[in-house]
Structure formats: C-alpha cells, structure tokens
Structure 1
C-alpha cells in the first residue's frame, strides 16, 4: 500500500517552481509541479539515485509503502495529503488509486534521461470526478483530478530574472535547485481546447497540456501516448534538456474537493537520436 502516513520516512518533494517561494511569502500554495526536497528533512533524508528509466508504479511496494524508486512529495507542510495506494483494476492489473479530500500531494521519481526526438511517453489514468470550479489558469482554483509532471534540466542562463530569484529562494530553503522547466499533462474542464498549453499562474517555468477535458470520459480508463520533445517545444519554444523527474498528482485542496483517481504504469520509449540540449 502506498501509505502517505509514512511520509516522514520518505523524501519530501516540493511541487512547483515557486511553491517554496509562495510558502515563504504567504504560507499558502497548491497545485503546481516541479521536483525538489523540502527543508524539513534535507539534512537527514537521502533521496534515491537518479534512474535511467521510469520505474513501474505496479511493482511490489517497499517496506516504506511505496513502489521502488518512487517517493512522497509535499506541496507544502500545511496541506492535507492525498492518499495513494496500490490496488487492482477490473482487469486484474496493479494500479495506483489516489483518494483526494481537500488534499494535495503526490508521488515522484528522480530521473536522468536524455530526451530524443520522437521520445514517447505512454500512460493510462482514470478520473472519477472533476473538482468543482477547478481552473489551472488561476491561483485560487488551481486543482486537477490527475496530473503527470515531467521535470527537465536546462541552461539557467536562459532564465528570466524573476525565475532566478525563485531558484535562489528554493536553494536557500531546500538546498536544491529547482528544475529548469516542468511540463505537465492534465485533465481540465471543457472550457479548454484539446491540447491547449496553459501557463501556470505562479510561474512561466511550468506549462500544462490539457490532454483530456470535460466529463465525457469520467470513470473510464484512458490511455495516452505523447511525443514529449514535441510537446516541450510547443510549450516552451525550444528543445528539452534531460528529463530529471516524473511525478503523479491529484489535488483538490484549493476547491475543497473530494474524489478518486487512478494511475497505471508510465513508460518512456525513445529512438535514440539526441535533441540539441539532451546530451549536454
């Protein structure tokens, strides 16, 4: 079982390029996505080593209650935790069930993978409800039933001044650098157009692609295959660097929503041809 009560023994993950910044400034944050440790256990926790492949969520859990190489992350310390646990779907396949109760947290894995043209991310998920009034374009209602976040490395010299300030604040608080950029796949209301790219309301270094919208497919397993190099370039206007993290997150903290969601294994396939920045 993926037991969020064991989070004190897990590495603590921050979600969002400015989550730490917003926490310092206001103590309230939710629903963004990047990968990094919090300051609470930075001196005592050892994160798992970076992996060259995405570990299956269906693998037998460790004594800490998590699939191997996956770790709990927090949005902020004052948020209720979404509960993640392994279960079996109707086809007998092991999946992760997320139970949201006005909560926000996730499960993440550190990676170190060069991204090549045509690199394809394949996954399946199921959402049973949409958070009422959720809108990822806004700070107030930034919730989503399902998200997959990909964190990328890159050249810090290309960042704007404000982004450098966010990174410096994160480094001071957590001792870790924020990702250069984070690309998210998410499910939104039908107000969005298919494959719409949405800037995070807190920082331009996080962009979401709405791969599912509206309520037509609620309660049904949906499978996706996305060219992540193409999607990254569409979102950020340049080729991606190395993939340094992947995460799943279901959150309803801002809208005080209750619902369940489900995630299957996430796979990355590549043809082996490097992008401009991947090999650097």
Structure 2
C-alpha cells in the first residue's frame, strides 16, 4: 500500500525527534537532485552532548532531505540552526556547474507569482520536474558554506537558474570540525538576494554533496528553528 504524501506543516520538525520507520525524523523525506545520482546518506545520531542530530555521509553523492511547509513570512522572521563540516569538497565552486558542491547547505523554498517568471525560468522548472520528479519552487534561498574565494555574506547565483541564490554564511577551512551556530533574518536575506519581499515559505531542505568534485566527507546538522514573532505588515507576503 502506497504511503500518503507528507502534509504541509506550519513548523519545522526537529532533527532531535524520534526517528520514523525510514530512519529520519518525522515529516522529513528524501530529496533527489536527479534520479541518476548516488545518494548522500542521512541518519540520526548524537553529538558529544547526547543531543540527536543528523549525520550526512557524502561519497561522491548528491541528495538531501526535505520537509514541506506552509508558513507566512513576515519582517523580522529569523532562522537559527547549527551545523558542522569536517572537510571541504576538493575544488568546489558553487558558481560553476562543474564544481557545484558544498559541505553543508540549508535551502528555503518560497512561493510566488509565476507570472513574474521568464520563459527560461519555466523551462528550468519543467526540466527539474523531469529529472528529479519535483517542480522547482518560485524561488529558493540557500545558506551555504563556501571556500575563502567568497566574501562573507556574498550572494551567489546558482549556475543553472537565477531562481536559486545562495548566501555564503561560512567560508574557508578555519571552522572545519567545529559546531557553528547561526541566526539569520530571512526576509532581509531574501530581499538582498532577489530584490523583493518573499512569499510563503513552502519547504526546507538540507543538502551535503560531493558528486561534481568526486569528494568524500561527513557533515552534521542540528535542529533548525524558525522564529516568527514579527508583526504582519502590508509589506509581508500573503
């Protein structure tokens, strides 16, 4: 009997929750980049304090885990999380198709007005649906770890589509092997990346990949929290 599709949620499910039958926390599911890629292995484990986290084992692989959401985003909304990476993919460069790998990424998917998309945008969405079984959202904002060729907080366009843009929140090798904690104003970051306020938050994913650079490494992700204490205004997306 086929399982029901995961319902959209109004909160991000914690990685520290008990695992389900798939070995992942409830409401998280595998996210394929393409059907012909080796999959990164994600599993729940514990950190040195005994807190449950997700370990990503990369072996020249590319995939993620994702959760469907349905959350209005208002000014002041903050995303906080922690992650740890033990190595950088060799020669990785998220500006290029050939070397587009990163040790850790958090991707936020947003809804929006499809009439604003270009013909090329629609072509990329259709291609993504064909190769991965999923349609690209209106826009995706990624937080990522890049090497030291990037400036801190630099916005980087995805080499495949302008509807995905990354903000480099960590860079270089200095913090490898250490847990790092972040808090970001996602409305300000989205406006910096795309030049307009965001729509509803409709999904979140984590991804560690080394397929393009043929890299092997391990990374970890702790719970991801969304703080929505901001007051709705006329500038907030409906």
Give the C-alpha shift of residue 209 in structure 1: 0.2
1:4-26 CA distances to partner (integer Å, 9 max, x unpaired)? xxxxx9xxxxxxxxxxxxxxxxx
Q: What is residue 139 of structure 2 aligned with on the other side?
A: 181
Q: What is residue 77 of structure 2 aligned with on the other side?
A: 119
Query: Alignment RMSD, CA only?
Result: 1.7
Which of 85, 105, 108 is matched with 1:150 structurally? Answer: 108
Give the C-alpha shift of residue 47 in structure 1: 2.1
Greater RCO, CA 8 A, separation 6+: 2
Give the C-alpha shift of residue 170 in structure 1: 4.8
| 2:217 corresponds to 1:259 | yes
| 2:87 corresponds to 1:129 | yes
Tell me if the contact between 2:33 and 2:132 (Cα under 8 Å) persists in the aligned partners. no
Which of 224, 239, 245 is matched with 2:182 structurally? Answer: 224
User: What TM-score comes out, normalization by structure 1 length?
Assistant: 0.81
Q: For 1:59 and 1:175, how far apart are their aligned partners in 2?
A: 28
Which of 121, 124, 127 is matched with 1:166 structurally? Answer: 124
Residue 104 of structure 2 aligns to a residue whose secondary structure is strand
Q: Which has the higher strand share?
A: 2
Aligned counterparts, 1:59-208, within 5 A: 59-170=17-128, 177-208=135-166
**Unmatched 5+ residue regions in structure 1?**
1-8, 10-43
Give the count of matched residue pairs: 237
Give the C-alpha shift of residue 174 in structure 1: 7.3
**Unmatched 5+ residue regions in structure 2?**
none
Choose 173-182 or 110-119, whichever is displaced more: 173-182
Which of 5, 9, 17 is matched with 1:51 structurally? Answer: 9
Tell me if the contact between 2:67 and 2:204 (Cα under 8 Å) persists in the aligned partners. yes
Q: For 1:179 and 1:191, how far apart are their aligned partners in 2?
A: 29
Q: For 1:174 and 1:80, how far apart are their aligned partners in 2?
A: 13
Which of 202, 207, 212 is matched with 1:244 structurally? Answer: 202
